């Protein structure tokens, strides 16, 4: 029977789009479901924070009346202007191992891109860099995390068959927390703190709101990341939409902030306890009891690992070694709380400065993921 492609137009269809991977990865021990409510808000064209500078369409594939795949087509006009290219993105790309399904879904992305005059297709990417990006090409036998994509190995075969080539790769590391922090790290952090005249900034939710600390972090993210692959610089007013989500789930003890003598934010580290097992138990849903599993992992009985979501250093401080303060602060807390390992977010393969910061720790390359590109 022919593959039927349906555009997502209703709330019910959107929920089917978000929930499709639950069936595709049923009984897969490495897949971690995302938070369903967050996915619903991100993909909702009325609620999504990036909709003001993006156009998008969501599609579901059906075979014999059963959902067998999904894909999002996205044109990020802000990123295209910033990077001076004409790209349509694909994201949320999941499908059974059937070339008719992957071809039919990708054809919708081609059509969507041509509609807006795009010249190439790239992905998997989201609306912004706060969405999951990159297709897993190494590390299929490693458990995924809340923030990153897991996919079957056959996905990459389909991409190659459809004529896509590599655009860039990201690497993820698992860093093991030592019984004793390296002497070299502690010495350097003490020297840097004195030499650069900087200090750690303790945070409370009251301070965050009163001093608009979330906005400070987002401005520094824009400044630190603006030259990284396909990064979209976000306007200040969008920060609140992301902050409302992150502040609702982050344990402030897992944040590390460094200020200079003028009380300006110059470096930050944003981490959180792994909630992978909690997400498995509740299948990404808050109700009826998902909220309890998540709260327990976040604030009561931590899992063995933490996720290092974001690390940034202001450009004029990047060669000062100031990141040693962040790691000395965070890793001391991890050791105290019994954390065994920290998993980094995806790091660009040519970002050697970032990769080199783990040389004082036992670590391994846990996963590699890829962004593909193809001319229209």
The answer on 248 and 197 residing in a single domain is yes
Considering the domain architecture, whether residues 181 and 157 belong to the same structural domain is answered as no
Domain edge (last residue) among 171, 195, 219: 171
CATH of the domain at 46: 3.40.630.30
For residues 188 and 166, membership in a common domain is answered with: no
Give the pairing type, strands 199-200 and 120-123.
unpaired
Give the range of the structural domain holding residue 25, as residue numbers without chain letter. 4-171
Judged by DSSP in three states, 106 sits in helix
Which tens digit of pLDDT belongs to each residue from 9-18?
999 999 999 9
Q: What is the mean pLDDT of residues 336-345?
A: 86
Reply yes or no on whether the pLDDT at 290 is more than 70: no
Torsion of CA 73, 346, 17, 34, to 10 degrees: -160
| Residues 337 and 191 reside in one and the same domain | yes
> Is residue 233 included in any domain, yes or no?
yes
Same domain as 119, residue 66: yes
User: Are residues 141 and 207 located together in one domain of the fold?
Assistant: no
Digit-coded pLDDT (tens) for 44-93: 887 777 888 999 999 999 999 999 999 999 999 999 999 999 999 999 99
- Say if residue 110 is in the same domain as residue 216: no
* Mode of pairing for the β-strands spanning 66-76 and 87-95: antiparallel
Given 134, 149, 171, the domain boundary residue is 171
In contact, 74 and 16? CB cutoff 8 Å:
no
Quick one: 19 and 126 in the same domain?
A: yes
The one-character DSSP state at 182 is -
Highest mean pLDDT among 3-7, 246-250, 266-270: 3-7
Q: Which two tokens stand for residue 288?
A: 């009826």
pTM (2 decimals)? Answer: 0.89
pLDDT at 312: 86
Write the pLDDT tens digit of every residue in 191-239: 888 888 999 888 888 888 888 787 888 888 888 888 888 888 887 777 6
User: Quick one: pLDDT band at residue 288, thresholds 50, 70, 90?
Assistant: low
Residue 7, pLDDT score: 97
**Domains of the chain: total:** 2
Residues 35 and 159 in one domain: yes
**186 and 148 co-located in one domain:** no
Asked whether the predicted pLDDT for residue 311 surpasses 90, the reply is: no
How many Å apart are CA 324 and CA 336, to the nearest integer?
A: 18
Q: Is residue 376 part of a domain?
A: no
Task: Please indicate, yes or no, whether residues 134 and 161 belong to a single structural domain of this protein.
Answer: yes
Q: Domain for residue 374, yes or no?
A: no
3-state DSSP assignment of residue 3 = coil
Same domain, 200 and 135: no
For residue 373, is it within any domain?
no
């Amino acid at each position: 029977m022919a593959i039927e492609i349906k555009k997502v137009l209703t709330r019910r269809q959107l929920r089917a789009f978000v929930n499709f991977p639950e069936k595709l990865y049923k009984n897969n021990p490495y897949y971690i479901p995302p938070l369903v409510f967050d996915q619903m808000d991100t993909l909702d064209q009325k609620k999504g924070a990036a909709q003001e500078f993006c156009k998008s369409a969501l599609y579901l594939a059906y075979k014999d009346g059963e959902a067998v795949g999904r894909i999002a087509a996205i044109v990020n006009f802000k990123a295209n202007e910033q990077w001076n290219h004409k790209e349509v993105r694909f994201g949320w790309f999941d499908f059974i191992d059937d070339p008719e399904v992957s071809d039919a879904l990708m054809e919708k992305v081609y059509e969507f891109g041509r509609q807006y005059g795009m010249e190439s297709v790239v992905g998997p990417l989201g609306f912004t860099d706060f969405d999951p990006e990159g297709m897993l090409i190494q590390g299929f036998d490693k458990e995924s995390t809340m923030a990153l994509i897991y996919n079957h190995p056959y996905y990459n075969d389909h991409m190659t068959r459809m004529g896509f080539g590599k655009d860039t790769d990201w690497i993820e590391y698992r860093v093991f927390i030592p019984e004793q922090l390296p002497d070299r790290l502690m010495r350097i952090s003490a020297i840097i703190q004195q030499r650069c005249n900087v200090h750690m900034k303790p945070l409370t939710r009251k301070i965050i709101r009163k001093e608009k600390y979330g906005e400070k972090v987002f401005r520094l993210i824009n400044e630190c990341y603006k030259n990284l692959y396909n990064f979209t610089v976000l306007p200040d007013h969008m920060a609140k939409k992301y902050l409302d989500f992150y502040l609702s789930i982050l344990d402030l003890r897992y944040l590390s902030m460094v200020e200079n003598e003028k009380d300006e934010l110059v470096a930050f580290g944003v981490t959180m306890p792994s909630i992978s097992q909690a997400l498995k138990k509740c299948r990404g849903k808050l109700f009826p009891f998902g909220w309890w599993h998540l709260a327990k992992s976040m604030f009561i009985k931590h899992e063995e690992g933490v996720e290092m979501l974001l690390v940034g250093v202001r450009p004029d401080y990047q060669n000062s070694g100031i990141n040693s303060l962040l790691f000395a602060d965070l890793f001391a807390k991890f050791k105290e709380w019994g954390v065994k390992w920290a998993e980094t977010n995806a790091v660009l393969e040519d970002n050697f400065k970032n990769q080199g910061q783990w040389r004082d720790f036992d670590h391994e390359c846990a996963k590699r993921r890829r962004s593909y590109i193809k001319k229209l």
